[in-house]
Amino acid sequence: MNEKSKSGKISFSNTAFMPKEEQLETAIRNRHITIGVPADSRDDEKRVALTPEAVNLLVEKDNEVIVQKGAGLGANYSDKDYSENGAILTDSISKVYSADVVIKVAPFSPKEADYLKGNQVILSYLNVLKLNEEILGKLIRKKVTAIAFEKIRDNSGVMPVIETMSEICGVTSVLVASEYLSVMNGGKGVMLGGITGVTPTEVIILGANTAGEYAARAALGLGSTVKIFDESIDRLRKFQNLLGQRLQTSVFHPQVLKKALKSADVLIGAIELEDLRPWYYVTEEMVRGMKKGAVIIDLSIDRGGCIETTECRALQDPVYEKFGVIHFSAWNLPSRVARTASIALSNIFAPLLQNMADSGGITQLLKNNRGVRNGAYLYNGMLTNETLGQKFGIISKDLDLLISAF
């Protein structure tokens, strides 16, 4: 390609005489994307998908990042933090939602879906249980390609967002339990842990997974007695080896669990639910038999919950009492530590977005990256998620076949 220089003479660009292979490599390196970071409209969502430092990395690679004013305030990032790192700050909602890629934490609302210009890439939590037909219909009509945070996998097959947020949930759940055992929050005045001459508190954890592991580490570190329940002997064995000490472990058996709950001070539900319906491992009858003033925290509440008496609550009002037992069940617990959670999310999404730019767009990224492909539930407005198809009675299409056509 030739162009006129300032002197008026025609000059040739650096790539004009390159071999085709080098021209292609140079073109890919020079590609960039526009990324929009809206301020989440939900008051109980404090996390932001990209920190100022992540924005700086993307801008340094010639991408354009448009941040809505106030987007990072919940995680204590000021507008100045973003502008100093190269972000374009704006009050215009339409400008943010007109970017090539729009990334936010909370699932899209119907109003937010209306802001989209169409034929874009969107990334956010999906939350299959809460998604309704109105929102899905709007996203389909906008012909977006949509990626769900919680479904993305890395090269080793691990779901990085789920794992990272599970680590945060595990530790935070124990800290929350400690707060609500205190008389300052209406608890019975028990210290989570133990001291010399005083019987330690008992913590029961459902699920030998990442959230369960980090909850157990935190509880053991404070001096509590910890009991782990899981369906799999193999997972329990690995869990015990991972923590490097002997724990009380058991497979799920209603009578054994019911007996253990009678003396428990804290119950943490960390079961990973995949079904569209809740599966209660702890029934209302079991909760009735727990000690007055005990604390229940259900970490799987965003997927329906694994404890029958828990309700999906907002972070602004997460606590309530049933049968004398204190319940805490916020669907987005990591927002309590929004800055830590935001940094963790940025560590995942900044490289992913740069990979998208380097690949030349979402189609090539989906072709080359099976893990991101696993998170796609819409491709150019076509439903590619079988679970959503079953929920709404829509025929889903095979994403592998769709992208092979491009």
Q: What is the 3-state secondary structure (H, E, C) of the chain?
A: CEEECCCCCEEECCCCCCCHHHHHHHHHHHCCCEEEECCCCCCCCCCCCCCHHHHHHHHHCCCEEEEECCCCHHHCCCHHHHHHCCCEEECCHHHHCCCCEEECCCCCCHHHHHHCCCCCEEEECCCCCCCCHHHHHHHHHCCCEEEEHHHCCCCCCCCHHHHHHHHHHHHHHHHHHHHHHCHHHCCCCCCCCCCCCCCCCEEEEECCCHHHHHHHHHHHHHCCEEEEEECCHHHHHHHHHHHCCCCEEEECCHHHHHHHHHCCCEEEECCCCCCCCCCCCECHHHHHCCCCCCEEEECCHHHCCCECCCCCECCCCCEEEECCEEEECECCHHHHHHHHHHHHHHHHHHHHHHHHHHHCCHHHHHHHCHHHHHHEEEECCEECCHHHHHHHCCCCCCHHHHHHCC
**Fold match between domain 19-158+337-404 and domain 163-331:** yes
b/e string for 88-100 if b means 16 or more Cβ within 10 A? Answer: beeeebeebbbbb
Q: How many CB atoms lie within 10 A of CB 141?
A: 12
Taking each helix axis from N to C terminus, what angle separates 338-359 and 160-181, rounded to the nearest 10 degrees? Answer: 170
Q: The tokens of 137 are what?
A: 């219909």
Residues 6+ apart with CB under 8 A from 283: 254, 308
State the Cα–Cα distance between residues 97 and 111, nearest whole angstrom: 11
Residues 151/126, Cβ–Cβ less than 8 Å: yes
pLDDT digit string (tens) for the chain, length 406 residues? 444 444 443 333 444 444 544 444 444 445 689 999 999 877 689 999 999 999 999 999 999 999 999 999 999 999 999 999 999 999 999 999 999 999 999 999 999 999 999 999 999 999 887 889 999 999 999 999 999 999 999 988 899 999 999 999 999 999 999 999 998 888 889 999 888 899 999 999 999 999 999 999 999 999 999 999 999 999 999 999 888 877 899 999 999 999 999 999 999 999 987 655 557 899 999 999 999 999 999 999 888 889 999 998 888 899 999 999 999 999 889 999 999 999 999 999 999 999 999 999 999 999 999 999 999 999 999 999 998 998 899 999 999 998 887 6
Q: Can you give the pLDDT at residue 72?
A: 97
The full set of domain ranges for the chain reads 19-158+337-404, 163-331
State the Cα–Cα distance between residues 387 and 394, nearest whole angstrom: 10
Q: How many CB atoms lie within 10 A of CB 10?
A: 8
Q: Can you give the pLDDT at residue 82?
A: 98
Q: What is the pLDDT of residues 43-72, one digit of tens each?
A: 689 999 999 999 999 999 999 999 999 999
321 has which bridge partners? 326
245: burial class by Cβ within 10 Å (0-12, 13-18, 19+)?
A: exposed
Q: What is the pLDDT of residues 164-192, one digit of tens each?
A: 999 999 999 999 999 999 988 888 899 99
State the Cα–Cα distance between residues 309 and 311, nearest whole angstrom: 7
CATH of range 19-158+337-404; options 3.20.20.70, 3.40.50.2000, 3.50.50.60, 3.40.50.720: 3.40.50.720
Taking each helix axis from N to C terminus, what angle separates 210-222 and 160-181, rounded to the nearest 10 degrees? Answer: 30
Residues 221/178, Cβ–Cβ less than 8 Å: no
Q: Can you give the pLDDT at residue 78?
A: 97
State the Cα–Cα distance between residues 51 and 326, nearest whole angstrom: 35
CATH homologous superfamily for the domain 163-331: NAD(P)-binding Rossmann-like Domain (3.40.50.720)
Q: Can you give the pLDDT at residue 187?
A: 85
